[in-house]
Amino acid sequence: MKLAFYGADRGVTGSCHLLETAGKKILVDCGLYQGGRPAVEENAGAFGFDARDIDFVLLTHAHLDHCGRLPLLDKRGFRGEIISTAATRDLTRLVLLDAAHLQEEEARAHARRAERRGESEAPAPLYGLIDALNVFDRFGRAADYENRMDLAPGVAVTFYDAGHILGSASVLVEAEGKRILFSGDIGNSGRPLLRDPVVAGGVDVAVMESTYGDRDHRALEPTLEEFYAALNESFRRGGNVVIPTFALERAQELLFYMRQGIERNKLPAALPVFLDSPMAISATEIFRKHPECCDGETSALLAKGIDPFGLPRLHFTRDASESIALNSVRGGAVIMAGAGMCNGGRVRHHLRHNLGRPDASVIFVGFAAKGTLARQIIDGARKITLFGDEIFVRARLHTINGFSAHAGQAELVAWHKKASPARTFLVHGEEEAMAALAGLLPGPVERPEFSQSFVL
């Protein structure tokens, strides 16, 4: 049995791990790298293995850094089976079609710029809409939580609820007398949308995320109070509030909490909210289709026919023309748009129109990887460049970390204790976070580098 690492190794994005056992090659995730020019080059580079040799892909969840290179895998010859939960399959379709559309748009923009400069060639997209559609021919069986499934003779897999986003899973592979647990991304406990993470115990090896291995998150109640205070303070100043929002989970979570805030008189009932993200709008509809993944509070609301995400003045802006019209809104609106790390999507246009205004606010509510625009702003950049324009950062900035969909340090340690692996491989974390977590875990703890392999 051999385990090799081809993504999210001493970094946070591009998750991709290869397990070879019982004559089968099993890939766990195949995600995009995110964060500036180096990520673009990494995505276009070789996988480190032959896509044609992969028999199965076990997909932990639908975030782009875990599923985003699946169309490229298929394009390069993968003809095996992709297995995920039903909710992950639904969300992945949404995510990949959106990613392909954005790549095609970016390629056309590059081509126009190249033509103006008199250059003969422009970079091709990593994959297009046809490639994204083709990969869905590879999706096979849907995994039910805690239901053991035979992959091949002598190889079984069980998906456990990871509590990270809708449909997310930790994946246990049993083969050759060993139990190998891939954590995927581990969620926070005690949140109203999703159930708490479930951990398989008594494993031999854990491949474990470490995104927040060096710190804990704030408790939820003070986080909500800070969020409501930031919104109310912004309304008093009269400007807009721009919230760079991840379309999966974070958008739905914020809508849920704003609805609660209005019900509890923490926010004005006339709060105008624009969800300017076709993907987030569709993801919200998918949420309603999968109450089996939801926590008791949310599933109870859905069972009563109550929309957990309903606000009195919520506007869904699917069309580009509706999004452009928001540029004329000068104050009093909450604009939620992706991408959460500001490395693409409609939020960049809203930042262009609001970031330079002293009466506006920008509220960051999620992780920002190194090299992303969100990270530059959070780290104190005084000016940024968007669409060729230099913009001075004059808006009031808020960074609220307590909403994270990832477990903090204490919960990661508790997860590891329940899994009780004899050997641990840390992935999906920056160097500092990974080193801090490694110092708290018993047993051999490895921090693999790209393409490093281990005999288990």
* Distance from C-alpha of 258 to C-alpha of 3, rounded to nearest angstrom: 44
* pLDDT tens by residue, 76-89: 999 999 999 999 99
The number of residues making up the chain comes to 456
Terminal CA-to-CA distance of the chain, rounded, Å? 6
Radius of gyration, CA atoms only, the chain? 22
Please tell me the predicted confidence (pLDDT) of residue 121. 67
- SS3 label, residue 84: strand
Residue 404 reports pLDDT greater than 90: no
The rounded Cα 431 to chain-centroid distance in angstroms is: 20
* Joined tokens for residue 408: 């903090």
Beta bridge partners of 392: 383
Contact 272, 334 (CB under 8 A): yes
Residue 66 reports pLDDT greater than 80: yes
Mean pLDDT of the residues in the chain: 93
- Containing 21, the helix (H) or strand (E) segment is strand 17-21
Alpha-carbon separation of residue 164 from 24, 190, 209, 224, 367 (angstroms): 28, 12, 12, 19, 13
Q: Which fold has domain 220-403?
A: Rossmann fold (3.40.50)
Model confidence at 112, in pLDDT bands (50, 70, 90)? confident
Q: How many CB atoms lie within 10 A of CB 343?
A: 21
Please tell me the predicted confidence (pLDDT) of residue 412. 98
> What is the location of CATH 3.60.15.10 in the chain?
2-215+405-455
Among residues 32, 40, 2, the alpha carbon closest in space to that of 15 is found at 32
Please tell me the predicted confidence (pLDDT) of residue 124. 80
Contact 300, 120 (CB under 8 A): no
Q: Could you say which of 2.30.40.10, 1.10.275.10, 3.60.15.10, 3.40.50.11900 is the CATH number of the domain covering 2-215+405-455?
A: 3.60.15.10
Any residues with CB less than 8 A from the CB of 353 and at least 6 apart, and which? 327
Please tell me the predicted confidence (pLDDT) of residue 39. 81
* pLDDT tens by residue, 126-177: 999 999 999 999 999 999 999 999 999 999 999 999 999 999 999 999 999 9
Please tell me the predicted confidence (pLDDT) of residue 36. 66
Cα dihedral sign, 248-127-65-112: negative
Residue 302 reports pLDDT greater than 90: no
Average pLDDT over residues 237-245: 94
